[in-house]
Amino acid sequence: MKLFLKSLCVGFVISILFTFVPFEGECKEISDSVFRVHILANSDSKQDQALKLKVRDAVIAHGETLLSDVHSKDEAMEIVSKNIDDFVSVAEQVVIDEGFDYEVTALIDKVWFDTRYYGDITMPSGVYDALRICIGKAQGKNWWCVMYPSLCLYAASDTDSLDKSLTAPQYRILSSDGKYEFRLKIVEVFSRVCSCFSD
């Protein structure tokens, strides 16, 4: 009887692994296909958080103009990299216009994101390439979005760009409406453990 129970447990673990591994692979491919933007406020004060959102609006508008005809993540990253000083200038102008004197810095970096929900879209956790914009001390709550494929115009229902840029299984994961919530949590824990070993 004990042997039977052990065999049952082993079989259960193996079956979970067989369903998890392909799912984790799809999530990794999503993170490899997406370019995000990450804006960090100076602090959590009301004024600094309001400033962050104004910087967000200006940065996203600038990004939408630059990336309107882009058809790949690599192309998007190259354009943003070549124009990174312009992104800083756009953000700095907002900071000045709002009466602050915070320094603004920007870089393209690999950034860890937890599983995030954006309207009807769920972005799996993992390490993503991202344009990171830091306002002042960058110690406040952050704001993020998907710069490529574009998902930053506050219209989560308009997911055509995601649908065209990802495979059908990947798109199903993003638009699953909570169907994969448990699996995504497992992927998040697994990815976080792996990232600890890779640091």
Mind listing the pLDDT tens digit of every residue in the chain (199 residues)? Answer: 555 555 444 444 444 444 444 445 455 567 788 899 999 999 999 999 999 999 999 999 999 889 988 888 999 999 999 999 999 999 999 999 999 999 999 999 998 888 777 666 777 788 889 999 999 999 999 988 888 887 664 433 444 555 555 566 555 555 555 554 444 454 454 455 445 545 5
Phi and psi of 81, rounded to 5°? Answer: -60, -45
Buried b vs exposed e over 17-36: b needs ≥16 C-beta within 10 Å? eeeeeebbebbbbbbebbbb
User: In which region does residue 142 sit, left (phi positive, over 0), alpha (psi from -120 to 50) or beta (all else)?
Assistant: beta
Q: What is the residue extent of each domain of the chain? A: 34-198
Residue 74 CA to residue 79 CA, distance in Å, equals 9
